[in-house]
Structure 1
Amino acid sequence: MTRFVERHAGALQLVFVVGVVGIALLMSISLRPESGGRSSAAAVNDTVVSVVTPVATPYRPVVQLNGVVQARTITRIIPQVSGRIVAVSSSFRPGASILKGDALFTIDPADYRLAVERTLAEIEAARSELTRLEAEAAAEREIWQGQFPDRQIPDLIARVPQIAAVKARIRSGEAAREAAELALGRTTVRAPFNARILESELDVGQVVSTGVAVGTMFSIESLEIAVPVSSEERRLIGPLDGQSVAVYLPSSMDGVLPGTLVRASAALDERTRLGTLFVAADNPGRLMLGEFVRVEIAGKDTPDSYRLPAAALTSRDRLWVVENGRLSARTVEVLGREAEMAVVRVFDDGDGVVSIPPANAVEGLAVTARGPDGLAAIDSSGSRPE
């Protein structure tokens, strides 16, 4: 037996090797998955994501902003004449409204009436003197012509300089009269426009001085709404001049005021880096200086846009799509938001937009996509199930 093994050792080794190789081949064939099951096994190991297929629709954003009511100018009430206050309007009180031309207060006009009378008397005296001088000049000319018919009468004898001086006095008197009448008219201070009173420091008996403020007010027509706005919001709004605006007052009972976008600031605020839009309300009388209001401005139309779940955005302008069974990042332009939806400009959405990105999302990650109905939409093999 030993001799037989020694004689056929090489052949036995060859048979053993062939047997081992054959067994290995049989095992590999038996363990190989069928072609139809290979993609299923891969899909089981893939990350499952939910995708949506967006539809392009037109979009016109409504930009909601907050603003504050302000007056273009605050007017200080400064009397142009001095004197004792003899009357104060009941409307010349903080918070009151007053119409253009209404009297605010009256300064004692007695001294100013006397000034007018004095100038009138001076004018009458000058005119009387002028009449006398003109009569004397006529008499002197007649005498001169009788004595010296071939010579011109001198100006001094003809009262020329005296008459000129009196005429100048009359003109000066007329100017003084107008100034006195103007001062008399200024003893009654009237509202230059429809206004609201902010401050009043007057009462009957007080003495006021020229150039000293006694109150402040603002024009109702000058009320406007200053609305801070970012560069992105300005881009959404589009052209600014003449844009219609809806102004929502703090109290719901006050309703909505229509308004118009009248202008924009020429520079950004140095601290906030925001611009300012100015809105004129159609009925400024319903506004209150300093109150905060909400403003809605319809932006420019965008013909093609996608409405996507807001959760699809992983950052301000980034989301994931499925492309050939793998994740692919997209940077999008966000146009606005509607409730829980984000509105973005149309982009290449691949095989669908991932509505809720997985925590392990990376570029090229193999995924199995499922639609809103929960059925598989596409897997990492790149095929869509029937």
Structure 2
Amino acid sequence: MRFLMRGLVGLALMAIMIGFAGFGGYRLYTAMTAEETAQRRPARERSYSVNVAELTSQTVAPVTTAYGQVESWRTLELRASSEGRLVEVASKFRDGAAVAKGELLLRIDPANAEFQVLDAEAALADAEAQKAEAAEAIVGAEQELEAARRQLDLRKQALERQQQLRDKGYSTAVQVETEELAVASLEQSLSNRLQSVITARKRIERMDLTVKRARLALDDARRTLEEVTLTAPFTGYLSEVNATLGRRVSSSETLALLIDPAALEVRFSLSTDEFSRLLDTSGSLVKAPVTAVLQLGGRSIEVPGAIDRAAAVVSEGEAGRTLFATLDLEPGTVLRPGDFVKVNVLEPELTRVAKVPSAALTEDGRMLIVGEGDRIEEIKATILRRMGNEVIVANVPFGADYVRERLPQLGTGLKVTPRRNTGGQDDPQLDEPATAQALEAGEARLSGDLVALEPERRAALIDQLNRSDMPENRKARLLALLNKPMVPKELIERLEHGGGNSG
């Protein structure tokens, strides 16, 4: 019985050993057969999914961005007209207050100005009295001159009679000489009277000038009296106010600045290349439209305008040109002199150009297009302008599809699966980034080099991935890899090169 039991156990063990040996032979045969089958089966070429758009010929007006400062070309210094004490100050005479044209601002004690008016009136009255006196004096001088002329005529007649009597022998030479001396004396007196008349007339001319000066002094004194009441000459805002009630001010002292809010312009600088684009064929500056953008927290204030002129000189060490643009301001504008604004200058239009994302080409203008058989070809485009995340290019094959995002794994000759964005060529958001598919396809190979991430760098990559538009299942798998202590180096490089961005 014991011998029978041992024989059955031995047969069972032998059967088990034969079964394992058969199973092992079957697995070996299957593996060898699968390897031969795989070697005979042709390898399938890998295809990358890429986002593409069509190169469309456009007419584009490029926009040059510069930064400048708002200035006022109409700023008036409000000065005291005369020395005195401030006896009245308007309640709104403060920094930043808005005043209307003709509005009372302050008043200076008029005592000094009134005294000057009275003094000028007295000087004018004295000058007019002296002028009247000179006019009367000339009348007397002319009468004396006329009497002297009549006396001279009579003496000349008497001299002629004496000469005739002497010739007839009835008069002596002594009598003739006496008459001649009398005539000479009257001629001297006549000359003196004539000089008196001339002097009297010149005095009247001098008194005319004196009266005019006295009247000008009186007008100036009256104007000073009127200016002790200071009013706003135009509507504007007050700045640098320096006046308080009861304070004594001196003549011509600056009390405030009045700034016209409607007379603002923006001063900004452009490089030499940017400035050259704003010149016409004759070399004259084009009055290109501009938009001044003032950033106030989360709100942007845009004010239109146009280039007005260029600075007269180029400062030492300055590169480019300084330009001034007038602004089309509305009443109540928030712009103030000194505001730092962004200036968008609309350049002349460019024809037969294309607008592509900056990620579609390299710095030297090389970009990828989809050729025959959905294979990638590389072309060299002429870069005309860079505007933020967009580039204006020329000398490109219009109508061809280009790759919107040039990824490191893409190269000439590779086969791709084009995916066209339904939102249009200029839509910055893609339906689903091709880079997300590249990352998913490479997940199986992301177990190569592993590196440890710093907390800040890990947080930045996670935030970048969370803000991407890739599907949630892919995002979850990549987030799981990023949260591990050791992260694949290839994943980090792809994310930092834009692999997790949506555009």
Alpha-carbon shift at residue 214 of structure 1 (Å): 2.7
Partner in structure 1 of residue 350 of structure 2 = 302
Partner in structure 2 of residue 83 of structure 1 = 84
Partner in structure 1 of residue 256 of structure 2 = 215
In the alignment, residue 363 of structure 2 is paired with which amino acid?
Answer: S
Alpha-carbon shift at residue 230 of structure 1 (Å): 3.9
1:120 aligns with 2:124: yes
Alpha-carbon shift at residue 122 of structure 1 (Å): 1.8
Task: Report percent identity of matched pairs.
Answer: 23
In the alignment, residue 305 of structure 2 is paired with which amino acid?
Answer: G
Deviations 1:14-63 (A, max 9, x none): xxxxxxxxxxxxxxxxxxx9xxx9xx97x948999776541222222344
1:273 aligns with 2:283: no
Alpha-carbon shift at residue 348 of structure 1 (Å): 4.9
The separation in 2 between residues aligned to 1:270 and 1:46, in whole angstroms, is: 58
Secondary structure of the structure 2 residue equivalent to 1:176: helix
1:176 aligns with 2:205: no
The separation in 2 between residues aligned to 1:300 and 1:202, in whole angstroms, is: 51
Partner in structure 1 of residue 115 of structure 2 = 111
Partner in structure 2 of residue 243 of structure 1 = 288
Alpha-carbon shift at residue 186 of structure 1 (Å): 2.9
Partner in structure 2 of residue 342 of structure 1 = 391
The separation in 2 between residues aligned to 1:272 and 1:48, in whole angstroms, is: 49
Alpha-carbon shift at residue 326 of structure 1 (Å): 7.0
* Inter-CA distance 217–373: structure 2 relative to 1 (3 Å threshold): closer
Secondary structure of the structure 2 residue equivalent to 1:214: strand
Task: Structure 2: state its 5+ residue gaps.
Answer: 1-38, 157-186, 422-503
Deviations 1:194-218 (A, max 9, x none): 4422122223443332343333233
Partner in structure 2 of residue 196 of structure 1 = 237
* Inter-CA distance 75–298: structure 2 relative to 1 (3 Å threshold): same
Higher helix share: 2
Higher strand share: 1
Assess if the C-alpha contact under 8 Å between 2:134 and 2:203 holds in 1: no
The separation in 2 between residues aligned to 1:359 and 1:270, in whole angstroms, is: 45
Task: Structure 1: state its 5+ residue gaps.
Answer: 1-32, 375-386
Partner in structure 2 of residue 355 of structure 1 = 404
The separation in 2 between residues aligned to 1:272 and 1:76, in whole angstroms, is: 31
1:332 aligns with 2:373: no
Secondary structure of the structure 1 residue equivalent to 2:354: strand
Q: Which moved more, 1:99-108 or 1:277-286?
A: 99-108
Partner in structure 2 of residue 226 of structure 1 = 267
Partner in structure 1 of residue 139 of structure 2 = 135
The separation in 1 between residues aligned to 2:301 and 2:47, in whole angstroms, is: 55
Secondary structure of the structure 1 residue equivalent to 2:396: coil
Alpha-carbon shift at residue 143 of structure 1 (Å): 2.2
The separation in 1 between residues aligned to 2:257 and 2:210, in whole angstroms, is: 36
Assess if the C-alpha contact under 8 Å between 1:56 and 1:346 holds in 2: no
4+ residue runs of structure 1 moved beyond 6 angstroms?
45-50, 251-255, 322-326
The separation in 1 between residues aligned to 2:143 and 2:133, in whole angstroms, is: 15
Partner in structure 2 of residue 7 of structure 1 = none
The separation in 2 between residues aligned to 1:50 and 1:113, in whole angstroms, is: 87
- Of 323, 334, 338, 1:290 maps to 338
The separation in 2 between residues aligned to 1:246 and 1:49, in whole angstroms, is: 37
The RMSD of aligned alpha carbons is 4.2
Which has the greater radius of gyration?
Answer: 2
* Inter-CA distance 206–50: structure 2 relative to 1 (3 Å threshold): closer
The separation in 2 between residues aligned to 1:334 and 1:307, in whole angstroms, is: 10
* Inter-CA distance 305–104: structure 2 relative to 1 (3 Å threshold): same
In the alignment, residue 58 of structure 1 is paired with which amino acid?
Answer: T
Could you say which structure has the greater relative contact order, defined with CA pairs below 8 angstroms and 6 or more residues apart? 1
Q: Which moved more, 1:321-330 or 1:295-304?
A: 321-330
Matches within 5 A, 1:8-157: 44=45, 52-72=53-73, 74-100=75-101, 104-107=105-108, 108=110, 109-149=113-153, 153-155=191-193
In the alignment, residue 244 of structure 1 is paired with which amino acid?
Answer: P
Assess if the C-alpha contact under 8 Å between 1:220 and 1:284 holds in 2: no
Deviations 1:261-305 (A, max 9, x none): 212335566677353332222336523222344544433222212
Alpha-carbon shift at residue 71 of structure 1 (Å): 1.1
In the alignment, residue 344 of structure 1 is paired with which amino acid?
Answer: V
Partner in structure 1 of residue 363 of structure 2 = 315
Alpha-carbon shift at residue 83 of structure 1 (Å): 3.4
Alpha-carbon shift at residue 312 of structure 1 (Å): 1.1
Partner in structure 2 of residue 261 of structure 1 = 307
Partner in structure 2 of residue 206 of structure 1 = 247
Assess if the C-alpha contact under 8 Å between 2:117 and 2:221 holds in 1: no
In the alignment, residue 243 of structure 1 is paired with which amino acid?
Answer: A
* Inter-CA distance 352–313: structure 2 relative to 1 (3 Å threshold): same
Assess if the C-alpha contact under 8 Å between 2:237 and 2:260 holds in 1: yes
Deviations 1:199-242 (A, max 9, x none): 22223443332343333233344321223434455466666543
Q: TM-score, normalised by structure 2?
A: 0.54
* Inter-CA distance 201–337: structure 2 relative to 1 (3 Å threshold): closer
Assess if the C-alpha contact under 8 Å between 2:369 and 2:377 holds in 1: yes
* Inter-CA distance 92–137: structure 2 relative to 1 (3 Å threshold): farther
Secondary structure of the structure 2 residue equivalent to 1:148: helix
The separation in 2 between residues aligned to 1:221 and 1:311, in whole angstroms, is: 43
Alpha-carbon shift at residue 113 of structure 1 (Å): 1.2
